[in-house]
Amino acid sequence: MIETGVLIDIYGNVLAWHEPDGRSGGSLPDSPRLWDLIWRYHEAKVLLGFAHSHPGTGPCMPSREDTTTFEAIENALGRSLHWWIVAADGGPIASFVICTRTPIGVDENPMPLPIAQHNGWMVYQMLGSFPSWVYELRHRSKVTDRCTACGKPVPTQGAPFCSEHLKDQALRQAWEEL
């Protein structure tokens, strides 16, 4: 699995993927390009927030580095953003949270359920149907315990495909070129 990020607009659409060199299963470096994009979309008044993936299967907590970064960006912009974290392993259920310093309304969809306070941040688990970018984020993060093609569990941890799809040369090539 490799951590991946994405900027989301106020309509819930993807603005830009963040897939910098040097990202891994344990870290997602920020970059001057990411900051430029955040600033540009903020100025255009279309930015809602930033999502990134973590390894693991359950609800993800932000790391200390995450909350430090979130705070620095919010302070620079003078406003709060939505900071989602998507677990990139395991099933899609119970794996999508949002971190915020300002409480969220319960009328949002997916519905946020407060589950933790972490480094001074509220963490909400998102329930209900997930936006389509969640699935693409997991895909781009190279989820490795389920077949990328059909969603069945894989025979060995780390394999991107089930035994059936592993035989598909074209699929494997597309995966390696991601």
Contacts with Zn ion, residue ranges (CB under 5 A): 63, 66, 147, 149-150, 162, 165
* Cα-based distances in Å from 124 to 63, 82, 119: 15, 11, 14
Shortest distance (Å) from residue 172 CB to Zn ion: 12
Axis crossing angle, helix 64-77 with helix 32-43, rounded to the nearest 10: 40
**Residue nearer to Zn ion on the CB measure, 41 or 70:** 70
Shortest distance (Å) from residue 153 CB to Zn ion: 9
Shortest distance (Å) from residue 50 CB to Zn ion: 10
Residue 18 near residue 34 (C-beta atoms within 8 A):
yes
**Residue nearer to Zn ion on the CB measure, 48 or 119:** 119
Scanning 18-177, the segments in alpha helix (DSSP H) are 32-43, 64-77, 132-140, 163-166, 169-177
- Please enumerate in sequence order all residues whose Cβ is within 8 A of that of 44, keeping only pairs 6 or more positions apart, or say none: none
Sign (positive or negative) of CA dihedral 37, 123, 79, 77: negative
**Residue nearer to Zn ion on the CB measure, 84 or 130:** 84
| Diameter over CA atoms, the chain | 52
* Cα-based distances in Å from 165 to 25, 136, 168, 169: 24, 19, 5, 9
Shortest distance (Å) from residue 104 CB to Zn ion: 19
**Residue nearer to Zn ion on the CB measure, 140 or 165:** 165
Shortest distance (Å) from residue 43 CB to Zn ion: 25
Give the integer Cα–Cα distance in Å for 38 and 44. 10
Shortest distance (Å) from residue 149 CB to Zn ion: 4
**Residue nearer to Zn ion on the CB measure, 43 or 65:** 65
